[in-house]
Amino acid sequence: MMTSVPSKIFLDVRETVIETLGLSILPSALDQDSPLLGEIPELDSMGVVLLLTALEARFGLTLSDDEIDSEWFRTLGTLTEAIEVRLP
């Protein structure tokens, strides 16, 4: 059985989440299906703002308030997808 290799974007998003929120976990503890909003106490309203700012800086994006959706933060995979589709 073949195991899928995480994309570079996923790895960068995961690293940004861990660093920005100051999580004391190993990166391997978070995968595509890891729940974010409602499961990680550090991801409160201020955490979301800090994380969005960090993701914008890391990926060279400008996210408008109109396009940001709480669904992005359901899992690490949904957050990665939200970033991937906005990359040039």
The pLDDT tens digits of the residues spanning 4-30 come to: 677 999 999 999 999 999 999 999 999
Considering the domain boundaries, does residue 22 fall inside one? Answer: no
Question: What residues make up the domain containing 70?
Answer: 32-88
**How many structural domains is the chain composed of?**
1
Per cent of the chain over pLDDT 90 is 92
Considering the domain boundaries, does residue 27 fall inside one? Answer: no
User: 3 falls in which pLDDT band (50, 70, 90)?
Assistant: low
Considering the domain boundaries, does residue 86 fall inside one? Answer: yes
Residue 36, SS3 per DSSP:
coil
Residue 4: predicted pLDDT:
67
Sign for the CA dihedral angle at 11, 17, 18, 23 comes to negative
Q: Please state the rounded mean pLDDT for residues 29-56.
A: 96
The answer to whether residues 80 and 10 touch, using CB atoms and an 8 Å cutoff, is yes
The answer to whether residues 86 and 63 touch, using CB atoms and an 8 Å cutoff, is yes
Closest CA to 79 of 58, 2, 24: 58
The answer to whether residues 28 and 14 touch, using CB atoms and an 8 Å cutoff, is no
Lowest-pLDDT choice from 3-7, 40-44, 62-66: 3-7
